[in-house]
Structure 1
Amino acid sequence: MENSMYEVRFKTSPDFRIKRAPNSTIGEPWPLPQLYNVKYDNVFKINESLSIHIRNYSCDILQKAIDRFKVNIFEFSLEEYYTNFLHIEASGFQNLNKKYHQDTLDIKKTGIVLRSEEVWGALRGIETLSQVIFSYKGQLYVRDTSIRDFPRFKHRGVLVDSARHFMTKEVMLDILEGMYQNKMNVLHWHLVDDQSFPYQSKVFPDLSNKGAYHPSLVYTHEDITDIIEYARLRGVRVIPEFDTPGHVYGWGFGHPEMLTQCYDERKQKIPGCYGPLNPARNTTYQFLEKLYTEIINIFPDKTLHLGSDEVPLECWNSNPEVPKDAIIQIWLGGAREVLRAIDQGYRVLFSSCWYLDNIPHGVHWMNYYKCEPTFKDPREDKILGGEVCLWSEYITSETAISVLWPRASAAAERLWSSSAVTDIEAAGKRLQEHRCRMLRRGLQVGQINGPDYCFLPRQRKVVEKEDIHRKNYNHENIIRLSSKNSFSWKYINIIEPFVIGISFSSK
C-alpha cells in the first residue's frame, strides 16, 4: 500500500484506490526558503526555559512577533503526523519520524541565530522558525537546519472586497494573520463599489449613512486605524482602493450629483440610472479632493489604488455635459497584456490566474501554484509581484477565511520562493502541514487536498486577539515601515535552542 498524491493505492490490487490527501510533512516551512538545508537525522530538543535576546536594535514589531512565536510553539506547535492506515495489515506505513526521537541529540551549544539587515527580515525569520519546530508527546523538537531567505517579489498581495459583502473587522484581522503566516505583505482593500459604500467618511457622512448596506455595516476611522496597526505589527501594508471613475453607483446613494446622469435615445433622463463620475463638473473634483485628503490622512501608505477598470462609457457618451509613473494591475490576460504594459513604460502587478472566488470542484491549488507571473521574459524586472483576488459577490464574511486559506498559500509560495521550486508532490505534503498549522493557530481555513484530518486539542485554549494600541505615529515613519518590501535574513546552525539570538547588521 502506498500513499501518493490524493489517493492510496494497493500494490496487490492496483485498481482499488481510496481518495486521500498526501501524508503531511512535519516541521517543514511554507513558503519554501530560498536556501533550505536540513539534516533530517539530527534533531534537537527545545526546553520551556527558552530565552530570546535581540541584539543591536529592537522595536514593538519585533517584541510582538516574539510574543506570537512563544504562543505558537508552546501552545500550538504541530504534533507529529499520524495515519490510521498503520492499523491495516501489511500496509507498509510507518511513523516516519519515530527514529528521530530515538536518536535525538541533547547538545547545548550556540542555540539558534537569526541574522537580518532589517526588522522585516527578522519578522519573516521568526515566523519560519516557528514553523520548523514541532512536538511529539509534549516535547518540542527542531532539526539541524540552515536557511538563507529573501522574497522573490517585493509585492505579495491579497485583494479583499468588502463592498459586495461586508467583511467584519474580526475577519479582516484574521486575513492579516493568515498573510503573516504566509509571508504576504500587501493588503489591497477594495473598500467600496456599486453595491455599497461602507467607508464612514467624516467630511461626507451621507456616503455611508445612505450608501452602506446598513448603518452599522461600516468601517469607522477607529476600525481602520486598528486594522492598519494590526497589519503593521505583521509587516503588511494596507492599500485602500476607491474604485473610480466606474463602479461608483454606491457613491450615488448619498451623493447622486457626483455621478453622470444617463439619458435615453430621446435625450430624456432615465430616473435612477447613473454612470461613472461626472467629469464635466468642477464640483466633482472639489468633492474628490476633500474626500481623498481625508483618506490619505487615515491610510498612511503612500499608495492609493483608484481601480479605473470596467468604466461604462455609454452614459458619458449620452450625457450632453461630457466633453470629448502608474502601476498597472493585470486583472485578465496573460503574457501579451503584461508585456504590452511594460513596453508602454509601466510597472506591473499580476492577478489573472489567482481569482480565488472562482472555485472549481476537487483539488485545484496546483493551478495557482503553477502560475508563473514572469513568463520567463527578460523584461520581468518590471513585474513587482502579484495579488490573489477575493472578490466577494458570492463570498461572505462567514466563508472568506475558508475560501482564502490555504488556497492563497499556493500563490504565496510562488511569489516568495525561487522560480525553480515547482515540485507539486513535495509542495502538496508541505501544504498539508501548513493547513493544519493555520487551523491549530486559530484560523478556520478550508480543505486543500481532499480527505484528511488535522489534530486539534479538544480543550483548545481560546487566544484573544492581542491588544491594539492606537498611537500617534509619525506619518512618514508609518509609510517607511509599511511600504518597504525587500529584505533578506538567515538563521544558521540550529542546534540546542535554549537561546535565540536576533542580530542586525550595521548597514
Structure 2
Amino acid sequence: MASVPVAVEVVAAVLVLLPSAAPQELPAPWGWACDEGLCVKGVTSDTTTSLNQCKLTCGPESAVWPRPASIEHSSEVAFFLPTNVTRRVSCQDAVCPLLDQAIDLFLDNLQKYHPDYAGGSAPWEGPWDASIVSHTLDLDVTIWNADDRLSLETDESYQLFVTTIADKTNAQVVAATYFGARHALETLSQLVDYEEGVDALMVVSAATVVDVPAFPYRGILLDTSRNFFSVQSIERTLDAMAANKLNTFHWHITDSHSFPMQLETLPNMAYYGTYSSRKIYTTTEIRNLVEYGRIRGIRVLPEFDAPAHVGNGWQWGEEQGLGKLAVCVNREPWQSYCVEPPCGQLNLANPKMYDVLGQIYNEMVELFSPIDLFHYGGDEVNLNCWNTTDEITSWMDENNFGRDADAYYNQWSVFQEKSRQLLTSANADREVPGILWTSHLTEEGRADQYLDPTKYIIQIWTTGTDYLIGELLEKNFRVIFSNYDRWYLDCGFGAWVGEGNNWCSPYKGWQAVYDNSPLDIATDLTGSAHEELILGGEAALWSEQADEMVLDARLWPRGAALAERLWTNPSHNWEPAETRLIRQRQRMVARGIMADRIQPQWCHQNEGLCYLKGIHQGCQAMGDAEVAGVTKA
C-alpha cells in the first residue's frame, strides 16, 4: 500500500513542471529547417521556422502543384492580412468580369488558409505587429486578348513575378488569355500560407514563374447516370479541378441506367428516365455549372453516349406514335445483350429515332454553349441485341445490308455519320471535333475505314500496352488517354455483379496515376512520342459503386497526381513529387475538398522518413541479427 502515495507524489511533481496554459495554447517546441530540399524537424531555435514557412520556402518548386515549367523563389517571406490585398487589372471588356470573379475566388481561398475558417470570413484576431498591419499584397494583372472561352488552341501560359520592397509585395501577372491569368492566380495562392505564430498570412517575398501546360486537354470524367450526384458535389469537383489546373470536366450525364437531364422540348426523357423527381439536372442548373466551370478555367464537356448505353428514358416512343426508339431496354438475361445491366441500344431501323436525337443535340448545344468539343460516346455496342430484334433484322434483310458483324459495323458507322451531321446542324452548321471511345469501330484495320481522323478524336480506355494505340496514331488520329490500367479511379473495390473484386481491379494508387505517361506509351508502341497527336488525358470515375458520399476521396488526391502528369509531364517518377502532393492534399482539405489521406500526419512533419528504400538491406540486417541469436520483440 505504501507505493500508492509515492506514485501520486511523482505525478504531482510532473504537473508542477508543466506550464499552466491549456494544452492547445502551449507553444510548439519544434521548428523546421530546410536541408537539401527537405524540411527537417528539430527543437526550435533561431535557425528554424514554422512548418508552413518551411514548406513554402524550401525546395526548388516551393509547394506549388502542379509543378511549373520554371520557378525561382526566395527563402524569405512577407507577412500580411487578407484584407490588405489590392488589385489593378488591364483587360478587354469580355474578359474583365471573369477576371474580377477569379480574383474574388483567389481572396476567398486565402481566407480558407486560417485553421478556424468555417465559411465566410476567417476569425483573424491579432494583435498584429505594425509591419503586418501596414503590409499590402498588390495584384497587377495584364491579359492581352479577349478570349473568354476555352478551346484546344487556347494559350494557357502565364508569367508571375513577385517582388517585395518595404511594406509592399507586388504580384505581377502577365498572360495572353484569361485562362492563363487564372492559373497564375492559383499559383500565387500556393505561394501564400498561414503563419500561426502571428495569426497572419505570409507570401514568398520574391518569385519568378514562367509556366505553360504540356497538354491542352486535362480532364476528369464523372458518370452521373449510374448514381446521381448533387449540383453542390459537382461544383466542389470543379473547385478541386481548378486548384490543380485541370481544364475539362467530362460529364457522362446519361446512360442506360437513368436520364437525369431535363430537356424542355423532350420532357419525357427525364420523366421516364430519372430515379426520382429530385434527381434531375434542370436546364438552369446545367447552364450555371457550365459558367461555374468557365470562371474556374474549365470546359464542361457534354457526352451523349450512343448508340449503346441508352435505355431508361427512351420508353415513351410507342405511346407517342413514334415507334420503338430504343431496343433491348432492360432486357434479360442482360449478359446476352449488354456489358452490364440494364441493357439498351438505339433502334437503327426507326428513322424517327434520328428526329429525337436531333432534338437532344439541339438542346445540349444550347445548354453547354458554346461547345468546342462534343463527346459521342460510341462504345460497347452489342451486336446480339440488334441481331435478335425482329424490327432490326427485318430492316437489315429488306435493305440487303446483310446480317454478319461487318454489316452491323457498317450500319453503326452510318449512324455515327448521321449523328455528326445532326450535331453540326444543331450547332448552327459549325462543326466541332467529336470524341469517340475506342470500340469495335476503332479495331485493327477499321478506324480509318469508318471514321475520318480530321473529324474525330479517339479516347483510349484500353490498357496502355494495347498495340491499337499505335495504329491509331500512325493513322493520324488525335487521341486522349484514359487507359483503365492507370486512370480508371473506380477500380479496386468489391464486385457489384457477382462476387470478388470489380473487373478493373486492382486499385490505382496515386503513384500509378502519376507515372502513367502518354508520350512514353506512344514511344514504346511506335518509336515516336507523336506529341502533335496526343491531346492529353483524363481520369474516369464511373459510378456503379460511387456516389457523392465518396466522390472527393475517389477523385482526390489521385486527380492531383493526374494533373501534374498532364500539366508538367515530368521526366521523373512519383517519388520527388510526394512531399508536394501531401501539401496539396492538405490545401484541398482546407478548401473544403474531402480528399483521401495518403500518409500519417507524422510523415508530413518529418519529410523523407516514410519510404521503402533500403528495405532489402534492413531485412538482411535483421536476418544477420537473428543468426547471431538476437530476436526482435
Q: TM-score range by the shorter chain?
A: 0.7 to 0.9
Please name the residue that 1:464 is paired with.
none
Please name the residue that 1:70 is paired with.
107
Cα distance in 1, alignment partners of residues 193 and 366 from structure 2: 43
- Conserved in 1, the CA contact under 8 Å of 2:301 and 2:374? yes
- Conserved in 1, the CA contact under 8 Å of 2:487 and 2:508? no
Please name the residue that 2:531 is paired with.
380
Please name the residue that 2:558 is paired with.
407
1:252 alignment partner, SS class: coil
Please name the residue that 1:437 is paired with.
587
Cα distance in 1, alignment partners of residues 589 and 219 from structure 2: 21
Please name the residue that 1:25 is paired with.
55
- Alpha-carbon shift at residue 414 of structure 1 (Å): 0.3
- Alpha-carbon shift at residue 108 of structure 1 (Å): 4.5
- Alpha-carbon shift at residue 121 of structure 1 (Å): 0.7
Change (3 A) 1:56 1:202: closer
- Residue number among 355, 370, 376 corresponding to 2:515 in the alignment: 370
Correspondence list, 1:111-122, <5 A: 111-122=170-181
Cα distance in 2, alignment partners of residues 450 and 281 from structure 1: 59
Q: Which has the larger radius of gyration?
A: 2
Over residues 194-233 of structure 1, what are the superposed CA-to-partner deviations in whole Å (9 max), with x where a residue is unaligned?
1111111222212111111112211110110111111111
Q: Which amino acid aligns with 1:77?
A: Y
Q: Which amino acid aligns with 2:325?
A: M
1:209 alignment partner, SS class: helix
Please name the residue that 2:386 is paired with.
316
1:435 alignment partner, SS class: helix
Please name the residue that 2:375 is paired with.
305
Correspondence list, 1:248-259, <5 A: 248-255=310-317, 257-259=324-326
Correspondence list, 1:75-154, <5 A: 75-77=111-113, 107-108=166-167, 111-136=170-195, 137-143=198-204, 144-154=206-216
Change (3 A) 1:110 1:152: same
Query: Structure 1 residue 37 and structure 2 residue 72: aligned?
Result: yes
Q: Which amino acid aligns with 1:315?
A: C
Query: Structure 1 residue 217 and structure 2 residue 297: aligned?
Result: no
1:448 alignment partner, SS class: coil
Q: Which amino acid aligns with 2:463?
A: G
- Conserved in 2, the CA contact under 8 Å of 1:161 and 1:190? yes
- Conserved in 2, the CA contact under 8 Å of 1:348 and 1:384? yes
Please name the residue that 2:98 is paired with.
61
- Conserved in 1, the CA contact under 8 Å of 2:488 and 2:540? yes
Please name the residue that 1:260 is paired with.
327
Stretch deviating more after TM superposition (52-61 or 212-221): 52-61
Stretch deviating more after TM superposition (338-347 or 391-400): 338-347
Over residues 427-477 of structure 1, what are the superposed CA-to-partner deviations in whole Å (9 max), with x where a residue is unaligned?
11111111111111122222123556999xxxxxxxxxxxxxxxxxxxxxx
- Conserved in 2, the CA contact under 8 Å of 1:363 and 1:450? no
- Conserved in 2, the CA contact under 8 Å of 1:369 and 1:410? yes
Over residues 275-303 of structure 1, what are the superposed CA-to-partner deviations in whole Å (9 max), with x where a residue is unaligned?
42111221111111122112111111232
- Alpha-carbon shift at residue 39 of structure 1 (Å): 2.6
Correspondence list, 1:212-251, <5 A: 212-251=274-313
Correspondence list, 1:271-290, <5 A: 275-290=344-359
Over residues 22-78 of structure 1, what are the superposed CA-to-partner deviations in whole Å (9 max), with x where a residue is unaligned?
x993461110100011232x32333542312112445121111111111222x2237
Q: Which sections of structure 2, spanning at least 5 residues, go unmatched?
A: 1-31, 33-52, 57-61, 116-131, 133-163, 319-323, 333-340, 402-406, 408-454, 494-505, 606-633
Q: Which sections of structure 1, spanning at least 5 residues, go unmatched?
A: 3-22, 80-100, 265-271, 456-507
2:480 alignment partner, SS class: strand
Please name the residue that 2:490 is paired with.
357
- Conserved in 1, the CA contact under 8 Å of 2:514 and 2:573? no
- Alpha-carbon shift at residue 344 of structure 1 (Å): 2.4
Query: Structure 1 residue 344 and structure 2 residue 475: aligned?
Result: yes
- Conserved in 2, the CA contact under 8 Å of 1:185 and 1:235? yes
Cα distance in 1, alignment partners of residues 316 and 234 from structure 2: 26
Please name the residue that 2:87 is paired with.
52
Cα distance in 2, alignment partners of residues 438 and 113 from structure 1: 25
- Residue number among 269, 278, 296 corresponding to 1:207 in the alignment: 269
Q: Which amino acid aligns with 2:382?
A: P
- Conserved in 2, the CA contact under 8 Å of 1:31 and 1:412? yes
- Alpha-carbon shift at residue 359 of structure 1 (Å): 4.0
Q: Report the TM-score when normalising by structure 1.
A: 0.74
Please name the residue that 2:599 is paired with.
449
- Residue number among 241, 245, 258 corresponding to 1:196 in the alignment: 258
Percentage identity across paired residues of the two chains: 32
Please name the residue that 1:162 is paired with.
224
Q: Which has the larger strand fraction?
A: 1
2:458 alignment partner, SS class: strand
Please name the residue that 1:334 is paired with.
464
- Conserved in 1, the CA contact under 8 Å of 2:315 and 2:326? no
2:327 alignment partner, SS class: strand
Cα distance in 1, alignment partners of residues 569 and 190 from structure 2: 19
Cα distance in 1, alignment partners of residues 602 and 68 from structure 2: 26
Cα distance in 2, alignment partners of residues 261 and 78 from structure 1: 55
Q: Which amino acid aligns with 1:260?
A: V
- Conserved in 2, the CA contact under 8 Å of 1:238 and 1:299? yes
2:303 alignment partner, SS class: strand
Change (3 A) 1:332 1:255: farther
Q: Alignment RMSD, CA only?
A: 3.3
Change (3 A) 1:46 1:384: same
Q: Which amino acid aligns with 1:142?
A: V
Q: Which amino acid aligns with 2:190?
A: Q
- Alpha-carbon shift at residue 180 of structure 1 (Å): 0.6
1:309 alignment partner, SS class: coil
- Conserved in 1, the CA contact under 8 Å of 2:492 and 2:508? no
Stretch deviating more after TM superposition (235-244 or 374-383): 374-383
1:25 alignment partner, SS class: helix
Change (3 A) 1:30 1:139: same
Question: Which structure has more RCO (C-alpha within 8 Å, separation ≥ 6)?
Answer: 1
Q: Which amino acid aligns with 2:80?
A: I
Q: Which has the larger helix fraction?
A: 2
Please name the residue that 2:360 is paired with.
291
Change (3 A) 1:359 1:315: closer
